[in-house]
Amino acid sequence: MTVALTILETDARAETAIDAVILAGRYAAERHWVPATSGNFSVRIDSERIAITRSGVDKGALTRADVLIQKLDAPLVAGSSAEAALHTRHYVEQPDTGAIFHIHGPHSTVIGLAHAAGGAVRLDGWELQKALSGVKTHETTIEVPIFANDQDIDALSDRVAAYLSTPVKSDAVRAPGYLLAGHGLYAWGKTAQDARRHVEALETLFQQSMMLRSYRP
Ligand SMILES: [Zn+2]
C-alpha cells in the first residue's frame, strides 16, 4: 500500500510540474519572448527529476506530450533541446532551484550582445529590482553576467557552473539569471512563480535601461 501511495504522490508532483511548464510557455509566448519555437522551460519534480519542454515546439501551444520527464542523472531523453543540459547541470548543482525559464526576449537578446565585451550588465536605481528574490532596495547593484553564445552546450555549462560556484567579485548582488550574448536570458527561482517573476523583471529592467540610454529630454 505504501509503495502504491508513494507512486501516486510522485505522479501528482510530475503532473503539477508539467502544468507549470505549459503555463510558463504560454505566458512567455503572449509577451513575444519565445519567437519561432525558441526558449525552453523546466520545473523540478523532485530531487531526481525535472519536467522540461521538448525541442522545436511552439512554446505558446504546448501540450502534455511536448513536456519531457528528464532524470537528472541520466542522458538527455530523445526529443530534448541541446540546451536541456544547461538546465540539468544547474538543478544538480543548485538544489534550491525549483524552476528555470529561458527566453529569447528582444531586450535580453540585444543588451547581452551590446555589453558582451564587459561580461556583465549592472542594474542600479530601479524600483523593479526588488522583484528579484532577496533584493530589498533600488540602491542595491545587481550583476547579470553575460556569457558568449556557444553551440557547445557542455562547454557553456562549465562556464556557467564555474561562475555560479564563485563569489561575486564586486560589491554587487548576483541576479538569479544570466545572459547569453545575442541569444537570450536564463532565469530561475525556488518556484515556478519566482522564476516567472525574475524573467519578467529582468526583461523589463533591460528594456528600461535601453530606453534610458536612448531618451533625450
Ligand atoms: Zn535559446
Q: How far is the CA of 205 from the centre of ligand 1 (A)?
A: 20
Per-residue pLDDT reduced to its tens digit, 52-85: 999 999 999 999 999 999 999 999 999 999 899 9
Predicted pLDDT at 183: 97
Predicted pLDDT at 48: 96
Per-residue pLDDT reduced to its tens digit, 21-54: 999 999 999 999 999 999 999 999 999 999 999 9
Q: How far is the CA of 150 from the centre of ligand 1 (A)?
A: 10
Number of domains in the chain: 1
Q: How far is the CA of 7 from the centre of ligand 1 (A)?
A: 34
Predicted pLDDT at 8: 62
Residue 210 belongs to domain with CATH number? 3.40.225.10
Cell numbers describing residue 4 = 502504491
Q: How far is the CA of 82 from the centre of ligand 1 (A)?
A: 9
Which residue reads 525535472 in cell numbers?
50
Q: How confident is the model at residue 138 (pLDDT cuts 50, 70, 90)?
A: very high
Using H for helix, E for strand and C for coil, what is the string for the chain? CHHHHHHHHHHHHHHHHHHHHHHHHHHHHHCCCCHHHCCEEEEECCCCEEEEEECCCCCCCCCHHHEEEEECCCCCCCCECCCHHHHHHHHHHCCCCCEEEEECCHHHHHHHHHCHHHCEEEECCCHHHHHCCCCCCCCCCEEEEEECCCCCHHHHHHHHHHHHCCCCCCCCEECCEEEECCCEEEEEECCHHHHHHHHHHHHHHHHHHHHHHHCCC
Per-residue pLDDT reduced to its tens digit, 148-192: 999 999 999 999 999 999 888 778 999 999 999 999 999 999 999
* Host domain of residue 198: 2-214
Q: How far is the CA of 155 from the centre of ligand 1 (A)?
A: 15
Predicted pLDDT at 167: 84
Predicted pLDDT at 171: 85
Q: How far is the CA of 36 from the centre of ligand 1 (A)?
A: 11
Q: How far is the CA of 128 from the centre of ligand 1 (A)?
A: 25
Q: How far is the CA of 37 from the centre of ligand 1 (A)?
A: 10
Per-residue pLDDT reduced to its tens digit, 76-117: 999 999 899 999 999 999 999 999 999 999 999 999 999 999
Residues 181 and 170 sit within 8 Å (Cβ to Cβ): no
Q: How far is the CA of 39 from the centre of ligand 1 (A)?
A: 5
Q: How far is the CA of 34 from the centre of ligand 1 (A)?
A: 9
